[in-house]
Amino acid sequence: MKRLSISTIAAVSLLVLGGCDKGSSGGGAASASASAPKPAAAASSAPAPAANLPVKGPWEAIKITFTKKDPDGSPHFKVENTGSKTVTVIFIDYWAYDAKGNQVAHKDLGFNRSLKGGESDEISTSGVKEADSWEATYHGIQFDGDAKPTMDDKRAPAKRAKGAP
């Protein structure tokens, strides 16, 4: 019985140590093993978080939702990757509207964070004093491995009616 538990501990230790070279800035063994090829078992043991998500095109992959407005008027948005491909850059456009629904501002801001399939993050922009509500969309996106972003400036007009697609 003792032999089985020692073998199990040894196997688990090897798996744990095999995964320590990613992003490790420690010394010795981790940096030495970083240059060595990884065994096939270690590479395949990493879970694929987006495996069950569909592959989506550039204009269906991201969902941007207004979440709150700070007392200073700064809006916050939830940015969700609903597809399976990792997104590395998003060019987001924001429109601010007054209480009557008239546009009072248009802003754009780049989102330069890696967002894996199924993940979400939050982004905010500076407030506009007369803004009562905010809407957002994006006119550019780059997926991991793409040489350049996919852009469609028609998705980011300077003037946009409240509730427009």
Q: Is 136 within 8 Å of 105 (Cβ atoms)?
A: no
**Rounded Cα distance, 78 and 118, in Å:** 13
Query: Would the pLDDT of 29 be above 80?
Result: no
The structure tokens listed for 28 are 């010795």
So what's the pLDDT on residue 19?
41
So what's the pLDDT on residue 165?
84
Query: Would the pLDDT of 109 be above 70?
Result: yes
Q: What confidence tier does 37 reach under pLDDT thresholds 50, 70, 90?
A: very low
- What's the distance, CA 102 to chain centroid? 31
Q: What confidence tier does 51 reach under pLDDT thresholds 50, 70, 90?
A: low
Q: Is 139 within 8 Å of 93 (Cβ atoms)?
A: yes
For residues 36 and 54, the model is more confident at: 54
Query: Would the pLDDT of 156 be above 50?
Result: yes
**Rounded Cα distance, 64 and 32, in Å:** 42
- Radius of gyration for the chain, computed over Cα atoms and rounded to the nearest angstrom: 22
List of domains in the chain: 2-44 (no CATH), 62-155 (2.60.40)
- This prediction's pTM: 0.67
> Residue length, the chain?
165
Average pLDDT, the chain: 78
Q: Is 21 within 8 Å of 30 (Cβ atoms)?
A: yes
**Arithmetic mean of pLDDT, 109-124:** 95
